[in-house]
Structure 1
Amino acid sequence: MSEDPFELLRSNINQALPRIQSRLSGPVKVFQFTGEGYEPFYLEVGGGTIKINKGSHSSPTATIQVSKDNLLKLIKGQLDAMQAYFSGQLKVTGNILDAASLVDILNAARG
């Protein structure tokens, strides 16, 4: 299993795409991930697709700031996103409700 959050998330999403397709409707929302220990990347979710790209987006719907270790734990299901948020291990700027919908997609992608 990859220890690179970008590669691990990309792999999970690609494997789960047929299963999570129904959750990807609606307008496109952009979720920027930043934090210590990994290159920034963002997810574009909506319009029936999900895309993961390296780098920074100019106008994300929400920015999620989380360390590499905690992001890996989130992706693997070893850390609860709400618990991480309320304990300060994860910070969200932008639309918090949209970020909560992303958690559902990530949980479904894990299968």
Structure 2
Amino acid sequence: MAALIGRPGRTQTVFVQCEPWCTEPHDSEPEVAVEDITHYSDVSFMQVPTLLSEDAHSELYCRMTSDPVSEDPRMRAAHVLYGDGNGVDAYLTPDMADQLADDLIAFATAVRGMARVARVANEADAV
């Protein structure tokens, strides 16, 4: 894939070997140096609404990433970036991401159970 490298007005195009999952448009916004190129997949994203506001209460997102020139070999390897919009992301190995997914499924099951109980309680109050 072509990538723009340089400063505004002084860019050049270089070839970058992307991971098969990389969807980052490296040719749309220039990086200062080749070392600044990071590979990213598409983002999975969800927002948590609240009945007290039109704005979302919080958000969760994740995407695959790899920083091919990082000094840390764990960051060079493909991994999952997980965040909640607070500005500090978590970087997960595939095993850590599997564990997170299991925990989220358990959490979602608990939320669904609470919704069921709340719905029954509200129906009982309406009678």
Q: Please indicate the TM-score interval, normalised by the length of the shorter structure.
A: under 0.3
Q: Which has the higher helix share?
A: 1
Provide the TM-score with structure 1 as the length reference.
Answer: 0.25
Which structure has the bigger radius of gyration?
2
Q: Which has the higher strand share?
A: 2
